[in-house]
Amino acid sequence: MTLSTQENTATPAPGASSSRRPAISRRKVIVGSGAGLLVLLSGGIIWRAVDQGVFSTGEGPAYEPWEQWHTATKGPLDLVRAAILAANPHDSQPWLFRVRKTQLDLFADHQRNLGHIDPLLREMHIGLGCALENLLLAAATNGYATQVTLLPDPADATAVARIELAPGATNVTDLYQAIARRHTNRYPYDSTRPVATATLDALHALNDDTDVTVFWFTSSDERKRVADLMVAAAKALVADKVQNEDSARWMRNNWQEVQQHRSGITLDVQGLSDLQRAFGKILPSLPQDQQDDFFIQNTEQQARSAGVLGLLAVRQSHDNAQRMRAGRLWQRMHLWATVHGLAMQPMNQIAERADRETTQGIPPRFGDALKTLIGSSSWEPLMPFRLGYPTHEALRSPRRALHDVLRT
């Protein structure tokens, strides 16, 4: 803050004594007051910084699940502790679990859907597949053999998976050990480091599902084409008031909201510099139009800095089971990337606009663009994403407490 004033430069009255005690000039008063004000401001800023968690990134009850997912007592609940650390849309955590000694049931929590951002529940079921993948990795680590049934109850659309548990061999993998280190990285990636073909081959080898595949866009022309679409979709999303409001509903702009809701997109995970994050927490929230501008600029920076852009695809994009199986692959790839020092981020704007086009019956600008990217009638697009080498460590998202995701 800059304080300015004009000093009184009037000439002293004739005959004024110069032998008196020196008067305190107005400048000195102002300087002294300014110093005091700066002290007060500094103290106020520090208090505000503490109050808003500037010095407590990734701490507090909302982040305890990242530390508590390993317990000394082994059992089915350990599988849930791992599952809730999975990737999911807008950190909505759209899951519930029913735990029995030899059986786990995974449910979609439709109350936590993203509204018009995800009108067909595509992203929700991808996220549920991510949770299932973590759960199965934890099952093998805890000595369980598993049998999985997707969509086990046709009469209950919320019942998405049943996992039967039996004694089995213990298998601790690198992917399991990376569960608590995997975080979505929204920072710019290192555009000077290309992603090797061998890396893409290794990621491809993680897929054992004939109904799921990945399309890679590696050349500069391909990446520019996809990045242009991502930016255009971000602009269209912001211009759609209903979609934009539904997205904003999941933004957590202060420390109290983070600890209260234990979900949603926080300032810590938006790809801001350390200084931007600090000021973002201390200062009042920006007006929505400025937040929208930042979202578009950030999307462009994210898309254009990617080493590779990709697209998850399935045979039937409206099939919830195939969506979940694609989610399992996404989680597996993201864990593998974490192990090998790579960063990943879903870039759903194009698909979100395509879903909006479908539900609103408007011209399929982005739906057609996605199909053109694939160029095959055998596959349907599901989730665009980016991959590359990080320039900044990804930070934690909040997670709900274990007891909040259990049902009877």
Q: Provide the 3-class DSSP secondary structure of residue 114.
A: coil
The pLDDT score that the predictor gives to residue 364 is 98
Average pLDDT over residues 357-373: 98
Are 228 and 86 part of one and the same domain?
no
Q: Is residue 2 situated within a structural domain?
A: no
Are 150 and 174 part of one and the same domain?
yes
Are 197 and 327 part of one and the same domain?
yes
Q: How far apart are CA 212 and CA 313, in angstroms?
A: 6
Are 211 and 285 part of one and the same domain?
yes
Are 232 and 167 part of one and the same domain?
no
Q: What pairs with residue 345 in β-bridges?
A: 386
How do residues 75-103 score in pLDDT, each as one tens digit? Answer: 999 999 999 999 999 999 999 999 999 99
Task: For residue 105, report the phi and psi dihedrals to the nearest 5 degrees.
Answer: -120, 135
Are 162 and 202 part of one and the same domain?
no
Q: Is residue 27 situated within a structural domain?
A: no
Are 168 and 223 part of one and the same domain?
no
Q: Provide the 3-class DSSP secondary structure of residue 238.
A: helix
Q: What pairs with residue 212 in β-bridges?
A: 314
What is the band of 8 on the pLDDT scale with cuts at 50, 70, 90? very low
- In 3D space, the residue among 143, 36, 138, 120 whose CA is nearest the CA of residue 84 turns out to be 138
**Ranges 61-70, 72-81, 137-146, 221-230: which has the least confidence:** 72-81
The pLDDT score that the predictor gives to residue 12 is 39
Are 168 and 267 part of one and the same domain?
no
352: Cβ contacts below 8 Å, ≥ 6 apart: 117, 118, 123, 233, 237, 243
**Ranges 74-83, 144-153, 275-284: which has the least confidence:** 275-284
Domain count, the chain: 2
Q: Is residue 34 situated within a structural domain?
A: no
Are 243 and 104 part of one and the same domain?
no
On the question of pLDDT at 6 being above 60, the answer is no
- In 3D space, the residue among 246, 266, 270 whose CA is nearest the CA of residue 257 turns out to be 266
How do residues 308-338 score in pLDDT, each as one tens digit? Answer: 999 999 999 999 999 999 999 999 999 999 9
- In 3D space, the residue among 261, 258, 296, 305 whose CA is nearest the CA of residue 277 turns out to be 258
Q: Is residue 6 situated within a structural domain?
A: no
How do residues 391-403 score in pLDDT, each as one tens digit? Answer: 999 999 999 999 9
Are 92 and 219 part of one and the same domain?
no
Written as six digits, the tokens of 255 are 């420390």
Are 150 and 218 part of one and the same domain?
no
Q: Is residue 275 situated within a structural domain?
A: yes
The pLDDT score that the predictor gives to residue 42 is 56
Q: Is residue 299 situated within a structural domain?
A: yes
Q: How far apart are CA 51 and CA 67, in angstroms?
A: 23
Q: What is the pTM of this model?
A: 0.88
Higher pLDDT, 57 or 192: 192
Question: Which three-class secondary structure string do you get for 179-209?
Answer: HHHCCCCCCCECCCCCCCHHHHHHHHHCCCC
Are 175 and 191 part of one and the same domain?
no
Q: Is residue 372 situated within a structural domain?
A: yes
Mean pLDDT, the chain, integer: 89
For residue 347, what is the domain's CATH number? 3.40.109.10
What is the band of 4 on the pLDDT scale with cuts at 50, 70, 90? very low
- In 3D space, the residue among 302, 306, 331, 333 whose CA is nearest the CA of residue 388 turns out to be 306
Average pLDDT over residues 103-114: 98
On the question of pLDDT at 33 being above 90, the answer is no
Average pLDDT over residues 223-227: 98
What is the band of 48 on the pLDDT scale with cuts at 50, 70, 90? low
Q: Is residue 39 situated within a structural domain?
A: no
Domain housing 224 = 186-388
CB 217 within 8 A of CB 226: yes
Q: How far apart are CA 174 and CA 179, in angstroms?
A: 9
